Amino acid sequence: MHSPRFLLATSGSICLAVALALAPASARADETCQSPYLPKITGQEEFVYVWTLGVEGLGDGEDKLVTIDARPGSKTYGKVVHTASVGGRFEAHHGGFNDDRSQLWLGGLDTSEIFVFDVRTDPGRPRLVKTIRDFTRASGGVVGPHGIYALPGRLLISGLSNDRDHGGRTALVEYSNEGKHIATHWNPTSDKPFGAARGEVADGYGYDVRVLPRKNVMLSSSFTGWSNYMMDFGKMLQDPEAMKRFGQTVVLWNLHTRQPREVFQVPGAPLEIRWALGPTHDYAFTAAALTSKLWLVHVDRDEKWHATAVADIGDPEQIPLPVDISISADDRLLWVTTFMDGKARAFDISDPFHPRQTYEKEIGRQLNMVSQSWDGARVYFTSSLLANWDKKGDDNEQFLKAYAWNGKELDQAFAVDFNAEKLGRPHLMRFGSASLYR
Amino acid sequence: MTIVAIVRNASIALFALGIAGGGTVMAAVAGDHGSAPRTDRPELSLGRSEQFDFDPPEPGSYSLPIIKDAGDGDVLTADGRSRRLRDVLAGRISLVSFIYTSCADPAACPLASGVLYRIKAVSKQDPLLAENLRLVTFSFDPERDTPTVMASYGKGLAPDVDGAEWIFLTTAGPAALQPILADYGQRVDRKRDPDDPLGPLAHLVRVFLVDRGGRLRNIYSFDQLDPRLVLTDVRTLLLEEAAVAAGK
């Protein structure tokens, strides 16, 4: 078990660090899978922010930030307490807080807008304060702002595509907290490896990016470009050429210089990256969507980094399509969600080289994102993957479901039906709390 | 706050890094960690630590993009003079650290001041740093941290003039302070508990690298305040200046 002191010191380093370190671990409740530079929520999360895709003919049809009350005992517990629409449908998908957590930046994958919400002034009523509409031009051609990750004073945005061929070659883009473009770092490709070892296998694709400051490294993963993620899912599956256009790599970067160090072959679109949180745990997990394999990226005693497939997720032959993973604060449990069968699976990762599934539960007919509280006691799920990839008809359930996890069983605490509420397709979740600012 | 308490809190900065008295710093710079000292980069002798378990890159092997212009405003120096911040920062590469002297959390302000102390110690070994680098400790608690208090705090940390210049700043009050904090993006909140033994203010630990032209070139958090890494950035800016001067 890592020390609480370390976690706080690496998570925003606010002056309250020592006092908070003395609090029991169960008193802290923030998400486990965020930038280490963020201040952490130290009590029960009060709100869950849900970045939601608009659906034509459903409510106002616009993408929107939905705020759900997560305060037990509140009169509105488990209810939608606020929505903020952004004026159209932009393929709402991912986003993240800036480093002082005053803003939540949310990306649109289709036309590359970034919506900046003030979550500090009134955390229960986020307010749209800025829209960045020139991301593609300012970045030199990057399309599809996806992961938005706080670094000190700036945000690191992983793109998904480009404006030349709308394929998967893309870049990491830095913006200041004020919304000004700082730099664009194109992902290595076989013809332009930028000095990365094993650059001959580099494909230039992007998806997630996560840092491990004490080793001065970051990892990026790879998905697919605009031409695929905006295509109808069934049509894409029948298109052999389209199915070739998925990322096959994870890239290790020098965090400080933003230069790629090494490229690893990780076939089948490795998506979310989760660094372990223990102070000596120098490894990360990722899940390859198309091959349904869990991968471990780790460093040996000679400081050589490796990517190793360490477990299957469900039956890979059935293509369960793992789409999100969430690591527990003690590095012992990894939640894996699979879109096709709608299941959440818990893996015991105490031995990271030999993950072992210990639990599974069907959450819905389709399933996507998972977020867990720092103490692991609460787990939240949403249903939507992409507007054109979600299931059709009755299988197109759209929900946020909250569960209590006692180490053995998930017990549902509440659910919000996003179809019935005429909200849309819920995807990314982030936790909010007024306690961060008072 | 008494002068004794101020000096005590300055000392916390040194104890936070286990360098009370500074002897350990000098020993480290002299190569006590087992590696041969590099005269061109004496900071490398500080070696790795559990928190910074890597070797820093070569200076000039990467670029530091401009983040934005550094903020300006009216400040008070430790001898009570009123100046513009931009004028204070002119002429050298600056490392600007926002703190308050009554912060007793060793993971926050004392740590930042301790890192600057280490950097000053290294700069005594390198005339290039001594001539081109300025350290700036800037209080965001003007009500308590008067020029007199900042002077006392500075005496505890920088009793001599050798090495890089180290200056200590405050402001006349919140009206002068807030625009500067906003420009830099330094968040400071009043804690709910005013009697918190760790002090009345909550803040993110941030140190800002400002080039000779008054532009922010990097922002360091607790996780990045490795003197080796910070000085690698300073040397990168010096190489950039040299390249510009040479017309490259």
Size of interface A-B (CB pairs under 8 A): 109
- A176 and chain B in contact, CB less than 8 A: yes
Nearest by CB: B204 against A13, A257, A437: A13
C-alpha to C-alpha distance for B239 and B40, rounded to whole angstroms = 13
When scoring B115, B219, B222, B234 by the number of chain A Cβ atoms within 10 A, the one with the most, hence best to mutate, is B222
- From the CA of A292, how many Å to the nearest CA of chain B? 33
pLDDT in tens, A381-401: 999 999 999 999 999 999 999
Residue type at position A170: T
Q: HSE (CB half, 13 Å, CA atoms) of A192?
A: 10
The CATH number of residue B122's host domain is 3.40.30.10
| CA–CA gap between residue A145 and residue A284 (Å, rounded) | 23
Distance in Å, alpha carbon of B237 to nearest chain A alpha carbon: 13
Whether B36 maps to a domain, the answer reads: no
Distance between B96 CA and the closest CA of chain A, angstroms = 14
Q: What is the DSSP letter of B71?
A: P
Which site among B53, B218, B225 would you substitute to test the A interface, given the most A Cβ atoms closer than 10 Å to its Cβ?
Answer: B53
CB-CB under 8 Å, A279 with B62: no
Show residues of chain A in contact with B196, CB under 8 Å.
16, 19
CA distance B83 to chain A (A): 26
Rounded to 5 degrees, φ, ψ at B111 are: -65, -45
Q: CB B196 to CB A19 under 8 A?
A: yes
Q: How confident is the model at residue A172 (pLDDT cuts 50, 70, 90)?
A: very high
- The minimum CA-CA distance between A99 and chain B, rounded to whole Å, is 9
Residues of A in contact with B222 (CB under 8 A): 9-10, 13
- Are A182 and B66 within 8 A, CB to CB? yes
- Please tell me the predicted confidence (pLDDT) of residue A195: 97
Q: Is B20 a residue whose pLDDT tops 50?
A: no
Residue A9 to residue B105, Cβ atoms within 8 A:
no
Determine the residue of chain B that is closest to A18 in CA distance: B105
Q: CB of B57 within 8 Å of any CB in chain A?
A: yes
Question: Domain for residue B53, yes or no?
Answer: no
- If one compares A17 and A175, the residue with the highest pLDDT of the two is A175
Q: Which of B187, B196, B232 sits opposite A100 (nearest CB)?
A: B187
Q: How far, in Å, CA of B33 to CA of B201, rounded?
A: 37
* Residue among A152, A183, A259 minimizing CB distance to B220: A152
Cα–Cα distance measured from residue A8 to residue A5, given in angstroms and rounded to the nearest whole number: 5
Average pLDDT score over chain A: 93
Among B97, B187, B234, most A C-beta atoms within 10 A, so best to mutate, is B187
Q: SS3 helix, strand, coil % of chain B, rounded to 5?
A: 40, 20, 45
Which amino acid does the sequence have at B40? D
Domain-embedded: residue B32? no
pLDDT tens readout for residues B61-119? 999 999 999 999 999 999 999 999 999 999 999 999 999 998 887 888 999 999 999 99
- Residue A29: which residues within 8 A CB-CB, separation 6 or more? A41, A42, A43, A44, A45, A373, A374, A375, A378, A431
Judge whether residue A17 has pLDDT over 90. no
In chain B, what residues touch A180 (CB-CB under 8 Å)?
68
Q: Which chain A residues are within 8 Å of B62, Cβ to Cβ?
A: 254, 256-259
> Hey, is the C-beta of B54 within 8 angstroms of any chain A C-beta?
yes
User: Which of A381, A296, A294 is CA-nearest to residue A339?
Assistant: A381
Q: Answer for the pair A107, A113: CB distance below 8 angstroms, yes or no.
A: yes
**Is the model more confident about A8 or about A435?**
A435
Residues of chain A with Cβ-Cβ distance to B105 below 8 Å are 15-18
Asked if pLDDT for residue B32 goes beyond 70, the answer is: no
| DSSP secondary structure, A209-274, as one string | EEEEGGGTEEEE-----HHHHTS-HHHHHT-HHHHH-S--EEEEEETTTTEEEEEEE--S-EEEEE
- Picking from A107, A124, A125, the residue whose alpha carbon sits closest to that of residue A116 is A107
Spatial contact of A29 and A378, defined as CB atoms under 8 Å apart: yes
The answer to whether position B44 is within a domain reads: no
- DSSP SS3 for B85: helix
The CA distance from B71 to A176, in Å, is 14
Residue B106 belongs to a domain: yes
Mean pLDDT along residues B18-41: 49
Q: Select the residue of B103, B185, B219 nearest A15 (Cβ to Cβ).
A: B103
* pLDDT tens, residue by residue, B226-242: 999 999 999 999 999 99
Q: Does B201 touch chain A (CB under 8 A)?
A: yes
**What is the count of structural domains for chain A?**
1
Q: Which residues pair with B135 in a beta bridge?
A: B95, B166
Q: Are B33 and B24 in contact (CB under 8 A)?
A: no
Q: Number of folded domains in chain B?
A: 1
Residue B82 pairs in a beta bridge with: B76
Which whole-number Å values give the CA distances from A155 to A107, A151, A173, in the listed order? 12, 6, 8
Q: What is the pLDDT of residue B194?
A: 61
pLDDT digits (tens, 9 = 90+) for A53-111: 999 999 999 999 999 999 999 999 999 999 999 999 999 999 999 999 999 999 999 99
- Find which of A3, A8, A13 to mutate to test the B interface (most B CBs within 10 Å of its CB): A13
> Which of chain A's residues have a Cβ under 8 Å away from the Cβ of B192?
438
- A142 φ/ψ angles, rounded to the nearest 5 degrees: -80, 135
Contacts of B57 in chain A (CB under 8 A): 254, 256-257
Please tell me what DSSP assigns to residue B202: E
The verdict on B205 touching A (C-beta cutoff 8 Å) is: yes
Cα–Cα distance between A390 and A400 in angstroms, integer? 15
A14/B191 touch (CB, cutoff 8 Å), yes or no:
no
Instruction: Give the pLDDT mean for B1-21.
Output: 52
Token pair 């952004």 in the structure block, residue: A86
Half-sphere exposure of A54 (CA within 13 A, CB side): 19
> Within a 10 A sphere around the Cβ of A332, how many other Cβ atoms?
17
The answer to whether A295 and A208 are in contact (CB under 8 A) is no
Answer whether residue B40 is part of any domain.
no
Nearest by Cα to A400 from A423, A373, A433: A423
The owner of tokens 């609460």 is: A378
B64/A contact by beta carbon, under 8 A: no
Q: Which SS3 state, helix, strand or coil, does residue A289 take?
A: coil
Report the DSSP pairing between strands B133-139 and B165-170: parallel
B160 touches chain A (CB under 8 A): no
Residue B42 lies in a domain: no
pLDDT at B12 over 80: no
Range of the domain at B97: 3-21+64-188+201-245
Mean pLDDT of A395-420: 98
3-state secondary structure of B14: helix
State which amino acid sits at residue B189.
D
User: Rounded to two decimals, what is the model's pTM?
Assistant: 0.92
| Cα–Cα distance for residue pair B222/B43, rounded to 1 Å | 18
- Domain containing residue A117: CATH number: 2.130.10.10
Distance between CA atoms of A359 and B111, rounded to whole angstroms? 44
Separation of alpha carbons A12 and A14, rounded Å: 6
Domain enclosing residue A15, as ranges: 4-436
Average pLDDT on A210-239 reads: 97
